[in-house]
Amino acid sequence: MKKLFLHIGMQKTGTSSIQLMLQSSEDALRKQGFFYPRLPMAGQNGIWKSAFRHNLLAASFADYPSVFATYEPEQIEDIRAEMLASPLVPIISAEDFSRQKDFGRLKELLAGFAVSVVVYLRRQDKFAESLYNQRNKILLSRMSEFLLDETLVTADGLNRFLTQENYTRLLDYRSLVERLRTSLDLEGIHVREYERDILVGGDVCLDFCSVLGIDAAEMTLPKRDANGNVDNKYFAKLRDIYGTSGSEAAMSFMQSLNDRMASGEDLSGKYALMTSEVRSAFLRQYAPNNAWISEQFGAFSVGVR
């Protein structure tokens, strides 16, 4: 059967950087027998060339609310047929695939392929804090008054975010792997830990190339993280400005932060919120499932060390 690699993220594990690498290295991929499929625009004519275009595929099979447009069944069949007809190995990449509750819905897209899944997992405490920071970064770009909440960048704010967005379900990595195994007929699952001192070359793009057997020296790698964080000190200052000077001053500070990022300034930094005691308690609830992941995938030890 024809091979296909399905990279499903997860979020905040360098997925955007991998997709930018794949998008900018089309010639290098083809020379090595791979391709990153271009897709039609959903609901209109033309080809969508964005590095993040496979989110439309994920949305088309989503069993959760998605912000992306979806394809009609006829378009899905055309995409599948084109991938089957190509002499090259397709690479599908969208982090939202990891949010699927029922992967069986993907069978119509993957029929006829020998599928290997690639998934990067991040230690649950670091993953949760990174997701929260990303949410706050998005709210900042939208100049949202939700950032004026008194619990901003506090442990209470983090816990509320995880509960409201139902992210606690995504932190059960054993459930994710078992759903993949039971729902899809897979050739294999490559589970990688998103930790820089474990990744090949300390870089997720180099690690991804190693998993697929791609010569990274031929690829065009992003010069910096594609989706960096925003240091919590800026959010803490925003909260202080709001408390002392009111909403107008706070909104003005938000605008200044957006202007600085738009000019290319790097505002990344520390975004940890948990104390050591809270962190240990947070990880204990996932320890049994993480131990299972470690046993199943060798050196992988997320949340076990």
* Per-residue pLDDT tens over the stretch 138-161: 999 999 999 999 999 999 999 999
* Per-residue pLDDT tens over the stretch 122-136: 999 999 999 999 999
Q: At what angle do helices 124-141 and 276-284 cross, to 10 degrees?
A: 110
Amino acid of residue 208: F
pLDDT of residue 201: 95
- Cα 276 to Cα 278: distance, rounded to the nearest angstrom: 6
CB atoms within 10 A of CB 268: 15
* Per-residue pLDDT tens over the stretch 73-94: 999 999 999 999 999 999 999 9
Amino acid of residue 182: T
Residue written as tokens 């957006």?
258
The burial class, CB within 10 Å (0-12 / 13-18 / 19+), for 43 is: exposed
Tokens of 57: 């595929």
pLDDT of residue 226: 66
pLDDT of residue 304: 46
Question: Which of 28-32, 56-60, 219-223, 292-296 holds the top average pLDDT?
Answer: 28-32
- Cα 116 to Cα 191: distance, rounded to the nearest angstrom: 11
pLDDT of residue 305: 44
pLDDT of residue 300: 55
